[in-house]
């Protein structure tokens, strides 16, 4: 599937918080053969959430949204999702009763338990706000521990596709392997090849759905480099 990840939070845009959620989700999806096409970061704004979610849900097979599911004034993701899908926000009775058992703050309980009409709840075992799925959109809390708890449940629903990856480390600089790298890219258009410079060395990553082709691309690259690898 072609997937978009949308991270909601002013703190992400200001650099106060590192967006580890998006990288975690993208890596997990890639490992089972799905293609993350966009990672989008947007502020805690109902209109912008609605616009980006609506657009992504039309362009991609599935959309994953994180952040903004709490009870504070800037937790407006549910409102944005509801607006994007033109659905009402409704109190989920199961969530409401559960939260009433751990808090007597009526405002907070009602806010957290109000989700777009028809949403399927995915329970959060380490926090208050549940995740949910509505149409082709999954919405999860932004707290990393809570995101991982709910995402692992959602991930089980994804089909595991063929996906293979190998890496080659080459000492030196990227400019020193450009000729060989470009030749392999030209010869193996069906293999995704990425070059990632580090301090004093380069990691070249080969990936794709065909294990034989991935391995042949690696072998060809090693052959062209000769003793340098």
**144-177 pLDDT tens trace:** 999 999 999 999 999 999 999 999 999 999 999 9
Angle of the 106-113 helix axis to the 93-100 helix axis, nearest 10: 150
How large is the C-alpha radius of gyration of the chain?
A: 21
Torsion of Cα atoms, 117 then 92 then 25 then 18, to 10°: 110
> Is 90 exceeded by the pLDDT of residue 105?
yes
The answer to whether residues 117 and 87 touch, using CB atoms and an 8 Å cutoff, is: yes
Nearest to 80 by CA among 110, 56, 108: 56
Domains of the chain: 2-155 (3.40.980.10), 164-228 (3.30.70.2860)
The residues facing 134 across adjacent strands are: 137
Confidence of residue 103 (pLDDT cuts 50, 70, 90): very high
**129-146 pLDDT tens trace:** 999 999 999 999 999 999
Mean pLDDT for the stretch of residues 113-125: 97
> Among all chains, which residue has been given the structure tokens 């405002």?
107
**36-53 pLDDT tens trace:** 999 999 999 999 999 999
Assigned token pair, 56: 């992504």
Average pLDDT, the chain: 96
Confidence of residue 229 (pLDDT cuts 50, 70, 90): confident
Which residues, other chains included, contact 194 with Cβ-Cβ below 8 Å and sequence gap of 6+? 204, 205, 207
pTM value? 0.90
């Amino acid at each position: 599937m072609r997937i978009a990840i949308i991270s909601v939070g002013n703190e992400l845009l200001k650099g106060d918080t590192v967006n580890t959620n998006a990288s975690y989700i993208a890596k997990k999806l890639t490992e089972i053969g799905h293609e993350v096409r966009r990672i989008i970061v947007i502020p805690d704004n109902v209109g912008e959430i609605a616009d980006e979610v609506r657009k992504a849900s039309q362009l991609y097979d599935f959309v994953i949204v994180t952040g903004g599911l709490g009870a504070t004034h800037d937790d407006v993701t549910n409102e944005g999702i509801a607006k994007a899908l033109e659905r009402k926000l409704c109190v989920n009775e199961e969530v409401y009763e559960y939260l009433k058992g751990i808090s007597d703050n009526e405002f907070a309980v009602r806010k957290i338990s109000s989700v777009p009409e028809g949403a399927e709840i995915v329970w959060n075992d380490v926090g208050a706000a549940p995740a949910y799925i509505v149409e082709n959109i999954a919405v999860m809390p932004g707290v990393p521990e809570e995101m991982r708890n709910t995402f692992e449940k959602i991930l089980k629903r994804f089909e595991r596709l063929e996906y293979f990856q190998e890496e080659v480390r080459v000492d030196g600089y990227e400019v020193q392997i450009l000729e060989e790298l470009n030749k392999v890219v030209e010869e193996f258009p069906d293999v995704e090849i990425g070059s990632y410079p580090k301090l004093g060395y380069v990691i070249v990553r080969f990936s794709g759905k065909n294990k034989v082709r991935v391995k042949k691309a690696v072998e060809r690259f090693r052959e062209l480099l000769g003793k340098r690898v």
